[in-house]
Amino acid sequence: ELALTLIAGPCALESRDMALDVAGELARLGARLKIGVVFKASFDKANRTSGEASRGVGLDAALPIFAEIKEKTGLPITTDVHEAWQCARVAEVVDLLQIPAFLCRQTDLIVAAAKTGRPVNIKKGPFLAPWDMVHAVNKARDADAAGVLVTERGTSFGYNALVADMRALPILKETTGAAVVFDATHAVQQPGGRATSSGGERRFVSTLARAAVAVGVAGLFVETHPDPDAAISDGATQVPLGDLEPMIEELMAFDRLAKNVGQ
């Protein structure tokens, strides 16, 4: 089994400068820790709780920034797509197309993403059982996806809460055959729990990440921001960029142990 890969970056592509700074930091972190890093940022927060919330720079502005980040840092890039027409354009630059959790059953979107020739990372909807993700994966494979990943990010648990069922990780792996990623920042969200935005409990990011890595995952997804409290979205759950390295280093020790001892 391959060592842990890190998918990380700010929730939203807030600006060119900020994205370049974060990507630079992540590239250095990857080099120091010898861990593969994929840079993630959303060009459009298309499903904000409230319509008045900031949404990011948009597709047109984002693509040249993504290209610049790739060139300057050497990091592969991932971002999420929301409607089928976006996929081909995004795939000109972006290396891995992400299907948002709420859209994991939108057949046209998955097919359009798969047809780009780029691998696709499908997030499990919070309303879906892990054994039902195989259908989403098959939609991508039947459209000749270059590769498929699946990401666990928690399941609805009453109102305004998610729970991360660690059994989902081996179930996803067995039933889909895809590489399994654990999204430790969305898994601690409290969706809709605040007035006009989603809250969350950042302090449990490392708790859940450690559990997931010990169980065994191919990748870890973590949103990180230089100053989460100033982030335009998901500030309550993003990890401060300065805190990321010790957390990842610790998780890599669990990853080595998990992948040595087998399961």
Structure tokens at 107: 């057949």
Q: What are phi and psi of 122, to 5 degrees?
A: -100, 120
Can you tell me the distance from the alpha carbon of 66 to that of 90, in angstroms, rounded to the nearest whole number?
10
User: What DSSP line would sit under 86-142, residue for residue?
Assistant: HHHHHHTT-SEEEE-GGGTT-HHHHHHHHTTTS-EEEEPPTTS-GGGHHHHHHHHHH
- Contact between 138 and a second copy (CB under 8 A)? yes
The H or E element containing residue 180 is strand 179-183
Can you tell me the distance from the alpha carbon of 263 to that of 248, in angstroms, rounded to the nearest whole number?
22
Taking the mean position of all CA atoms in its chain, how far away is CA 147?
16
- Contact between 110 and a second copy (CB under 8 A)? yes
Q: Which of 35, 93, 169, 217 binds a second copy (CB under 8 A)?
A: 169
Is residue 120 within 8 A of residue 147, CB to CB? The reply is: yes
Pick between residue 15 and residue 156 the one whose CB is nearest to a second copy.
Answer: 156
- Contact between 60 and a second copy (CB under 8 A)? no
Looking at 7-15, 89-97, 150-158, 236-244, which segment touches a second copy (CB under 8 A)?
150-158
Q: Which of 79, 206, 237, 238 binds a second copy (CB under 8 A)?
A: 206
Q: Which of 59, 102, 175, 259 binds a second copy (CB under 8 A)?
A: 102
Looking at 21-29, 30-38, 145-153, 248-256, which segment touches a second copy (CB under 8 A)?
248-256
- Contact between 158 and a second copy (CB under 8 A)? yes
Looking at 17-25, 46-54, 224-232, 235-243, which segment touches a second copy (CB under 8 A)?
46-54
Can you tell me the distance from the alpha carbon of 156 to that of 127, in angstroms, rounded to the nearest whole number?
6
Looking at 19-27, 59-67, 135-143, 144-152, which segment touches a second copy (CB under 8 A)?
135-143
Structure tokens at 129: 């059982």
Is residue 40 within 8 A of residue 48, CB to CB? The reply is: no
Instruction: Print the binding letters for residues 78-97 with a second copy: x by CB under 8 A, - otherwise.
Output: ----xxxx------------
List of residues contacting a second copy (CB under 8 A): 46-52, 55, 82-85, 102-103, 105-108, 110-111, 125-132, 135, 138-139, 142-143, 155-161, 163-167, 169-170, 188, 191-192, 196, 201, 204, 206-208, 210-215, 250, 253-254, 257-258, 261, 263
